[in-house]
């Protein structure tokens, strides 16, 4: 019988590390949102009203605002020009909800001004999704075909598109938050004391994207260690 340590794949440490990073980031954003979701804005503005105000101020007239189901499912779709706010954001007057709504408006402003990284991310999405879906089957086929390194490398390259998407996403998200905080600083939605609170919420949310990029990188690194180069298993 083989000893346990001989059966253990040490590269699983990379998977576990990525999982722990993602879990920590998710827990942090949830706790931060809950903390500032309890603080009601002095101007008593809902997330929906805040979004409508920001879009009007930025002279964006072709974007609609709608409420959708879920918790923190807020998003902006540049394809149909719809800004969707979750139930926890749309009708809430909390500092956290307004910060999230403003962040999504930041994406609408990016789209309106032709922000290049947003365009690049939109173009990468279908390619990244396709690559992620096919990467493991391609690698598996390569292994089954007498460790065909060409197919394996194609599979690894396909998975790397997911990391490329994550990396392009980072500047898009951070820039949207900066735009949101700049708009909120005018005092018509949040007070001077409330803006730093919204900044903490958006910073916590941004960390989830950093965590996702790190987790994807660790997965890619594991694939390279296991299947890249001359790691042929006889």
SS3 185: coil
This prediction's pTM: 0.87
CA atoms within 13 A on the CB side of 60: 23
DSSP 8-state class, residue 220: H
| 2 has pLDDT over 90 | no
**Could you tell me whether strands 75-77 and 64-68 are parallel, antiparallel, or unpaired per DSSP bridges?**
unpaired
pLDDT per position as a tens digit, 57-68? 999 999 999 999
For helices 95-113 and 116-144, the axis angle rounded to 10 degrees is: 90
pLDDT per position as a tens digit, 75-89? 999 989 999 999 889
Beta strands in the chain (DSSP E): 64-68, 75-77, 82-86
Give Cα 207 distance to the centre of its chain. 9
SS3 56: helix
| 38 has pLDDT over 90 | yes
Instruction: Print the SS3 string covering 14-78.
Output: HHHHHHHHHHHHHHHHHHHHHHHHCCECCCCCCHHHHHHHHHHHCCCCCCEEEEECCCCCCEEEC
pLDDT per position as a tens digit, 162-188? 999 999 999 999 999 999 999 998 878
| 19 has pLDDT over 60 | yes
| Whole-number Å distance between alpha carbons of 117 and 107 | 11
Active-site amino acid positions? 104
CA dihedral 64, 46, 174, 113 (to 10 degrees): 30
| Whole-number Å distance between alpha carbons of 4 and 34 | 43
| 4 has pLDDT over 50 | no
- φ, ψ (nearest 5 deg) of residue 94: -75, 160
pLDDT per position as a tens digit, 97-154? 999 999 999 999 999 999 999 999 999 999 999 888 999 999 999 988 888 899 999 9
| 71 has pLDDT over 90 | no
pLDDT per position as a tens digit, 200-233? 999 999 999 999 999 999 999 999 999 876 555 5
Q: What pLDDT sits at residue 232?
A: 55
| Whole-number Å distance between alpha carbons of 79 and 88 | 24
Q: What pLDDT sits at residue 8?
A: 60
């Amino acid at each position: 019988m083989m000893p346990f340590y001989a059966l253990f794949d040490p590269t699983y440490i990379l998977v576990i590390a990525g999982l722990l990073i993602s879990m920590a980031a998710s827990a942090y954003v949830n706790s931060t949102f809950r903390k500032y979701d309890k603080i009601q804005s002095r101007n008593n503005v809902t997330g929906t009203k805040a979004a409508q105000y920001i879009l009007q101020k930025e002279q964006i007239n072709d974007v609609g605002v709608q409420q959708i189901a879920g918790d923190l499912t807020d998003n902006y779709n540049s394809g149909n020009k719809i800004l969707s706010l979750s139930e926890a954001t749309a009708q809430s007057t909390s500092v956290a909800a307004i910060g999230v709504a403003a962040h999504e408006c930041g994406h609408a402003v990016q789209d309106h001004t032709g922000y290049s990284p947003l365009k690049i991310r939109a173009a990468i999405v279908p390619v990244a999704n396709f690559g992620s879906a096919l990467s493991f089957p391609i690698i598996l086929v390569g292994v089954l075909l007498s460790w065909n390194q060409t197919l394996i490398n194609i599979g690894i390259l396909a998975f790397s598109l997911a990391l490329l998407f994550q990396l392009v996403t980072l500047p898009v998200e951070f820039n949207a938050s900066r735009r949101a905080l700049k708009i909120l600083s005018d005092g018509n939605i949040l007070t001077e004391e409330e803006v730093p609170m919204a900044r903490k919420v958006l910073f916590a949310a941004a960390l989830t994207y950093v965590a996702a990029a790190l987790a994807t990188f660790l997965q890619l690194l594991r694939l390279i260690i296991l299947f890249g180069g001359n790691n042929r298993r006889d």
